[in-house]
Structure 1
């Protein structure tokens, strides 16, 4: 063998070893994850969460169940004669949580946001819609503000065409939100409305009526995903359609999910759009994953004292395939009310929920304390990896969101009509904790990428090239590098609205020594692939992500 070939053997061996260790399942994924209590009490139940582009999370619950455990500042009180429990309420039902400082402050939400919906728009503002009672036709906004400023909720009366309770929002390529369904609402509308929509009437969507289980419904909080062709994949109960919202037309009907059991509220499974790749290809593929839920009839059985086992199946479908079919896999455990959180490396964290029963007040038992990581790119049969258990049940009205440092912030659990802390199996939970996936363990410090350039927030045009510089503390393997961007979703009731992760196309990697490199990535080519808003950008070395930076697509 030639001398230079012998010289290359140690390097080749190292690359193969690192490639093996970083891209295949290994024990650290199950043992190196950690839980940490951030706040023993934030004073409210974390029923809804949205991460904003200033690294703060807006959290809120409901106003119609009495006082919370957090007093509003400056003597503020909410006066509402329509409330049954407390007509004058001087406590907060919303907070702004600062991720970096692990602190929070009370916010004044003026109307009832119970079981509402929302999402962040182009300028980073959280647009929040609907709720219950005096809040069911409200639109509220919360704009991120600079450090030291005290932003507050702004509310608009009668901004929605109809009552929206348990509806789903999705952010659209044109910068609007579509608001779909809700209790006894078999229709949809937009915000903001175009001039032709000023009569403020919703558009009828017969699919929602067709999927309504009388008495149990099972089509509330439908799973909605923006497909790469600009149409919407809408899943309700056990069925799905591809919907052209611009022309008010159903483009295609997908096969019923295998088994035929419902997956939407109150049967409450979860769903996610899997990572979008090869963005410069002529045809970009899109896949949706639906996991867990309660079997048909479980909602009625709970009221007879029978808690049915939650479903342990995940079904995956390539929605861009003309002959799309569902492929079913089995999770390590059944789970209802689980949240599916996209991780920076493209894997999916399945967290929270219970192993029996359905969504609703006291309707579930046997908490699912162990999260699961679903390894998107692994082969069937080897995708699920169990994670360390939390000590805190996260049942009905629990939430989870990814933050820029790679942790997942988890809160909530209130399976009662009011705050109840004793003499019940699962007390109201006011704590906030962080789940740190295995990739944050110190074991991976040497291979964890650090983004050197850009060093802070950047704005990107569609199709624009972005120069990046990456380093690691140990040895860099260029072949294992990728770059992802993730839109922070609005999370409530086990579904993360507008959650979207894209794998960017990379140019030639120029290596500098053993531990750093530079290259260019190409921004997504259209607003259909990446609607205009703020995203977290991550470098990923094998399975190990960097801390993210904020970018704005425009």
Structure 2
């Protein structure tokens, strides 16, 4: 087909139907490649950003929000222009001129301090449809607080906004958030809070969740996944249920997952695997890692961490857990959805559990990448920086994974084992290796917004002739803390066959995700994929 004919035909969407292949469970251990050539690697981005980021989120402006607790005494970076925080309820420094939050720019690795007023220790959050981050709860004077930050560029015009009147109805320390299809925020759980609520509340009060009422412990930071039918899958400790939040009814419960407790303080992690075909595929939940039920109460024993992962299809008629072993046992690991729909499991320890000082040991320095289609793990090169309690990992648009934080101590402590970590790294998966430059796609024309179930066009350049389908995925930007990324989700979009428009430039028509149950309205990273290699991502607003 000529370039002119291709241009005329471009925009006529063709659905791509793939046959389901038989899945064979295999355990693969390799040392650095992802199976497509190239080498995974690490890069040190900043030697000292000034705070240990307990909570991390990537904004649609490209800046990365770092946030720590406020009641630990001074950090190693001061607020700008002589600004100080005066708070008589602070447990450490009532007059504090240092910053406990900042914006990190991965384009040039620069930092800009931010001012947060009340204590955000072990709080929760998620981005709203307009890209504003809503941040909820914390400790002491922050336990009922609601905070916002609307991202901005490098001009420094944005900072935290906090209301003294718009408050949570219950104190939330170690809670979890989920953006709902209608734009409301669902806030669940926390220490001594087996309830959920909505923001805005619209006059609705608190609702009890029996799953949390029955646990009492090992249920903090519960895992929440919005299912494509609009219900919520909720997991705590080793049990789970489906909640219809519209009727406030538990409509389904599930078998107990084998093995160890998975939530705080045992710190497994969870993702919902990428939804296929624009969100029409059956959802599947993956939960990996954890710690012995004995570990938090007996730190001298340093019990081995969990080595198991479980997969569950919650909307099946009679679902049950499919279990397999990881190559490296792990607690406090972070799970990051990569643009190619594989799962990076990174950070954490191989013994003990979450907690201060010597609660955990034997850092898990090697990440692993999990291929959910092949059911295989691949061990990646090790970092030299232990990332233990209070560490984070977040996907950047360019496909790297930003790794920050780690503080096993009540205050910043730079002596002894596992000191407070102020360095920032990037894990660079094998698909970022320049060896893939000849097949790596690049957007040359793209939308800034994608509408539900509606076609949109992109143009992608590829140095070598395209081979097969050029895929499109959208990936949310979660609020990451305590080994769980709140709101993390990915959708593989329905695409047409690529059409050659001109030399090395191809047109692809994609269809937006099916509806807001599949992808709540917000900003997402859009990636093109060719031969499994992702492009640099661009931000689009799904609406």
TM-score normalised by length of structure 1: 0.90
1:551 match: secondary structure: strand
CA contact (8 A) 1:130 1:163 kept: yes
Q: For residue 228 of structure 1, what is the aligned residue in structure 2?
A: 228
CA contact (8 A) 2:285 2:313 kept: yes
CA contact (8 A) 1:314 1:329 kept: yes
Q: For residue 111 of structure 1, what is the aligned residue in structure 2?
A: 118
2:135 match: secondary structure: strand
Q: Does 1:185 align with 2:193?
A: yes
Q: Does 1:334 align with 2:357?
A: no
Bigger proportion of residues as helix: 1
Shift of 1:29: 2.2
Counterparts in 2 of 1:280 and 1:270: CA distance versus 1, 3 Å: closer
Shift of 1:146: 4.1
Shift of 1:516: 3.6
Shift of 1:147: 4.0
After superposition, residues 169-208 of structure 1 pair within 5 angstroms as: 169-194=177-202, 196-197=203-204, 201-208=205-212
Task: Give me the whole-angstrom Cα distance separating, in 1, the residues matched to 2:89 and 2:113.
Answer: 23
Shift of 1:211: 2.1
Q: Which 10-residue stretch deviates more, 109-118 or 271-280?
A: 271-280
Give 1:550's match in structure 2, choosing from 535, 539, 543: 539
CA contact (8 A) 1:56 1:99 kept: yes
CA contact (8 A) 1:137 1:157 kept: no
CA contact (8 A) 2:279 2:518 kept: no
- Unpaired runs of 5+ residues, structure 2, are 1-25
Q: For residue 16 of structure 1, what is the aligned residue in structure 2?
A: none
1:279 match: secondary structure: helix
After superposition, residues 36-75 of structure 1 pair within 5 angstroms as: 36-75=43-82
Q: Which 10-residue stretch deviates more, 539-548 or 150-159?
A: 150-159
Q: For residue 389 of structure 1, what is the aligned residue in structure 2?
A: 382
Deviations 1:331-379 (A, max 9, x none): 111000000000000000000000000001121000000000001211x
After superposition, residues 485-504 of structure 1 pair within 5 angstroms as: 485-504=474-493
Task: Give me the whole-angstrom Cα distance separating, in 1, the residues matched to 2:450 and 2:430.
Answer: 31
Q: For residue 459 of structure 1, what is the aligned residue in structure 2?
A: 449
Shift of 1:145: 2.0
Q: For residue 406 of structure 2, what is the aligned residue in structure 1?
A: 413
CA contact (8 A) 1:68 1:91 kept: yes
Task: Give me the whole-angstrom Cα distance separating, in 2, the residues matched to 1:35 and 1:124.
Answer: 29
Q: For residue 214 of structure 2, what is the aligned residue in structure 1?
A: 210
Deviations 1:236-259 (A, max 9, x none): 000010000111100100111023
Q: Between Structure 1 and Structure 2, how many residues are aligned?
A: 511
2:452 match: secondary structure: coil
2:297 match: secondary structure: helix
Q: For residue 17 of structure 2, what is the aligned residue in structure 1?
A: none
Deviations 1:149-199 (A, max 9, x none): 4211000125100111000001110001100000000101111221x32xx
Q: For residue 366 of structure 2, what is the aligned residue in structure 1?
A: 370
Root-mean-square deviation (CA, aligned residues, Å) is 1.6
CA contact (8 A) 1:476 1:516 kept: no
After superposition, residues 142-541 of structure 1 pair within 5 angstroms as: 142-158=149-165, 159-194=167-202, 196-197=203-204, 201-212=205-216, 217-259=217-259, 261-279=260-278, 281=280, 284-302=281-299, 305-362=300-357, 363-378=359-374, 380=375, 383-422=376-415, 424-454=416-446, 458-479=448-469, 481-512=470-501, 515-541=504-530
Task: Give me the whole-angstrom Cα distance separating, in 2, the residues matched to 1:493 and 1:60.
Answer: 13
Shift of 1:463: 1.2
Shift of 1:306: 1.0
Q: For residue 9 of structure 1, what is the aligned residue in structure 2?
A: none
Shift of 1:515: 3.8
Task: Give me the whole-angstrom Cα distance separating, in 2, the residues matched to 1:166 and 1:147.
Answer: 31
Structure with larger RCO (C-alpha < 8 A, sep 6+): 2
- Unpaired runs of 5+ residues, structure 1, are 1-23
Q: For residue 13 of structure 1, what is the aligned residue in structure 2?
A: none
CA contact (8 A) 1:211 1:239 kept: no
